[in-house]
Amino acid sequence: MKMNNVSLLFLSHLTLFFICACSQNIAQTQFVYKWSETYCNKDTPVGCKQTPPLKFTLNGFWGTDPNGNIHQGCRDPETRDWNRVFDTAMVSKLTLFWPSLTRQDPKDMWKEAWNTYGTCTISRFKTPTQYFNRASRLDSEIGDLLQSHLINSNGIVPCDSATYSNVEILNSFKQVSNNKDVSFTCKDINTTHAYLNQVTFCYTNDAKNFVDCPTSVTNKRCRVQNIIVPRPSPP
């Protein structure tokens, strides 16, 4: 009996994996930023090369199914000329919002993003250039807004001694997303306090219009009552 359950579970996971890995028809896209200081210094150490910037930087851009499951690991049908993809203009565009905070070469990081996630969005973005241009476009639409609502306004101030409620953080993000539902995660400190970690914006499959993030995604939202947006400090 036990064995049966286990093998059934295994089979259903295999099927899911199969669907996710092979279908390129994405239902939505997600644009996910990380709060750089949490990523560098409040989570599992990743070895950041310098004091992180006082801002969100891109964590990833990918396609999902209607339930928010990420499509990844598709095969690239073509060999890419990466020197042409990452020309000077593209590098300077991407560096603005998608820097490598670790010692990893940013071009390697972007290549990895295309190979892991971009290749599964190929029904929408035919080439790495289209994929990265769309990411850059999304950042130009919301990056500054995000920065001004969270950082530069009298709203939320990154500071280790200030705490914000879940609702305050959510409302602040929703001003950026045209009031569509977003998700954000935290790195827990204890049962009452946590550091803000990532924020996920959900879009139509062409990554042009905001949509509400699926419940399965918003269900994972950080819900502690005291959220800290930590401020980077020089060593």
Ligand X SMILES: *[C@@H]1O[C@H](CO)[C@@H](O)[C@H](O)[C@H]1NC(C)=O
Residues at the site binding ligand X, with contacts judged by CB under 6 A? 189-190, 192-193
Length of the chain: 235
- Dump strand ranges (E) for 43-100: 56-64
Q: Which is nearer to ligand X, 55 or 187 (CB)?
A: 187
- Closest distance to ligand X from the beta carbon of 171 (Å): 22
Contacts of 22 (CB under 8 A, 6+ apart): 74
- 188 phi and psi, to 5 degrees? -65, 140
- Decide whether 5 or 190 has the Cβ nearer to ligand X: 190
Q: Name the minimum Å distance from CB 102 to ligand X.
A: 25
Nearest approach, Cβ of 41 to ligand X (angstroms)? 14
List all residues 6 or more positions away from 232 whose beta carbon is below 8 Å from its beta carbon. 36, 37, 40, 41, 51, 52, 53, 54
Residue placing its CB nearer to ligand X in the complex, 35 or 201: 35
Cβ at position 189, least distance to ligand X in Å: 4
User: Smaller CB distance to ligand X: residue 80 or 193?
Assistant: 193
Contacts of residue 148, defined as CB under 8 A and 6 or more positions apart, other chains included, come to none
Tell me whether residue 19 or residue 157 sits nearer to ligand X (CB atom): 157
CA distance 205 to 124: 7
- Min dist. Cβ of residue 224 to ligand X (A): 9
Q: How far is CA 69 from CA 61, 63, 66, 77, 234, in A?
A: 13, 8, 7, 23, 37
